[in-house]
Structure 1
Amino acid sequence: MSNHLTLSVEQSPVMNTYTRFPVTMVKGKGSFIWDEKEDKYLDFTSGIATCNLGHVPGYVHDKVQEQLSLLWHCSNLYHIPSQEKLAKLLIYNSFGDQVFFCNSGTEANEALIKLARKHAEMRGKDSRKIITFKHSFHGRTLAALSATGQEKLQQGFAPLVEGFQHLEFNSFEDLKVLETIEACGVLLELVQGEGGVIPANKEWVLKLAEICKQNDLLLMIDEIQTGMGRTGSLFAYQQYGIIPDIVSLAKGLGSGFPIGALIASNEVAQAFNPGSHGSTFGGNPLATSAGLATVQYIVENQIAQDAQKLGSYLVEKLEELQKDYPQIKEVRGLGLLVGVVFEGSALDVVKKLLAEKVLTLTAGEHVLRILPPLNASKDEVDLFVKTLENVLSGE
């Protein structure tokens, strides 16, 4: 018999893969979330850039409710209407021609890696190597982890998947290496979220795209955290003047429902054929109904443009705060993906804000990561900034 009944009172039956705060959340609406004691918190994490329309957005809720009464899941051996509609909507609003659906960001990047290598084989290229960048984050599965440019996350999981090389982010010098290296593609985030909320330099990105074109390298953008309006445009690449070959999506795509996606050009997408990749749950009716409603609402209500304006307002307020509090070293980001660099521990600031019923994140040791819902109000931003000021002043 299993010894599952021998757990101590203190030991959770859930594996210890997260350092959890001592709060249990049970309900959310808009920019707020409530714990089991009915205490109300301002949530400026958005489920790590997932609930981009806030918690339980009405339009998405209604569409999911409709689908719940019809069909939750069926095999991808059959056509799924909401999947087809969501794919068309993503294509219409992007560079792409075809979409593959999965369940998460790391799965989207696994599909991206496989597609890039399959495309290289189709083109007769000898190299399957993919270039990524230091401090990047591309997921937790073994290939996505191997693509990630953070050794601390890779410790204990050797041997890693071969075929990845990490260059310095925003380094023009390292782009010279790219001109001579044998590879099939380049994968990058346009804002390194987990790596410290570091935006890519636009001139550097344009040079990178030029080198990719000249050297027959796929240009692949990880938009898992930056996509779905988070940076002030539906996709971050649209602000950089580039046209990628592949983009990976997840997080904000489904308003909290597990869904990921890969968008590719026809020329690249044709490398996949029946049997080369798949997903049991990917693109199921429930997830794609949530995704369809989410993207429709973002596009039709110009949520990305609103996020750009609100992001500028938030940064302006934080820079004003910086003048009075020298422990703030820098404010950076794009749209509503904002980082505040502190001289000391960002986690200490997160804990103090939590005590004041405001939720935030870290991005490394010194960076406070701020991810409001894209449709948050100025009053909610003001509340956040005022609470942060109180925390910094010791009130």
Structure 2
Amino acid sequence: MLKNKKILLGVSGGIAVYKACGLASKLTQVGAEVRVIMTESAREFVSPLTFQALTRNPVYTDTFDEKNPKKIAHIDIADWADIAIIAPATANIIGKLASGQADDMLSTTMLATQAEVYIAPAMNVHMYAHPAVIKNMKQLESWGYHFIEPGAGYLACGYVGKGRLEEPEEIVSVIQRHVSQQQYLHGKKILISAGPTREIVDPVRFFSNRSSGKMGFALAEAAANLGAEVTLVSGPVNLQINHPNIRRIDITSAEEMFDVITDHFDQQDIVIKSAAVADYRPKFIHQGKMKKKDGNYTIEMERTKDILATLGEKKKHQFLVGFAAETDTPIEYGLGKLDHKNLDAIVVNDISSDGAGFEGDTNIVTYINKKKQQESIHQATKTDIAYKLFEWIIRDLKDDDR
């Protein structure tokens, strides 16, 4: 379950740092890519070189050590991680996160990451039972942090009780179990379209639109992370995606997208058409470059094939989701499209709203299923929206007994 996962291991100061070395090794052995951040106190117990050797990746220690001037290191690694683990987690780092303090590489990164965060405390038995520590842990739990409780036994300080860092094997096992529970798309085949199309006028000109493909790519990555086998059909975009569960097919025109999607449609369980496909194309394509002339010029346009309507007519077992990017009465238009094209759900967004629409990293959407139930996300990143949409899609699939 952790193979190819990007795992950020935060190591704070304490004698249990030696166990973090074992944890880094175990995570690497199960196929995860591991990067380590060490606090100044942690480096008093173990050298960064140890973790570098175990993970075969550089170790981060200093917020101001910016190796790549094109990237802010703590933001870059925060965005990189699929999963973050703090082990051992001292009372100090737990308190920092609970109060929003960010004064070193580990705390600044942890406040910036959107990854699932697991905290494995290790400290003296009385420290672990202190009301302030308990309060801080409850606060973090309420925000969605996952705690891996320490074991009980003989502690380095000489006390016997709860506070010993859980064994590396158990930490890995806990995270694997949690990830497996999140793989609710495992076994599903999902087809997603993304980006714009280009309709050629001549060798140097084309008609297109402002779609960046970010929403479709976010959906593809979310589906793959949730265990699905994904086919991503993308128009021309400046985006990269690298996941073993994603097969990417690049196309240019609406006609090419129609052919690819209809060819793959029968084998899919879920199909999401988030691409902004051209409704019209030039009726005639000039083989040579059109020359500038005096006066106006008229290009005759013809309708492209309606991909979504065709899929609605063909569908059997597939759960079909469309997108409607609108500027006027978006909900009304979305409801009409839901019925007219025989969809199971539609995602509507008003692209005239701030923080929504093409090219940006955030969106504002309303999900409507065929029962006309509406769920809205007022503003969130396209990644967060992608995960939420799959929660609703799986809920509706279960309601349909599919």
- State the TM-score, normalizing by the size of structure 2: 0.28
- State the TM-score, normalizing by the size of structure 1: 0.28
Q: Which has the higher contact order (CA 8 A, sep 6+)?
A: 1
Higher Cα Rg: structure 1 or 2? 2
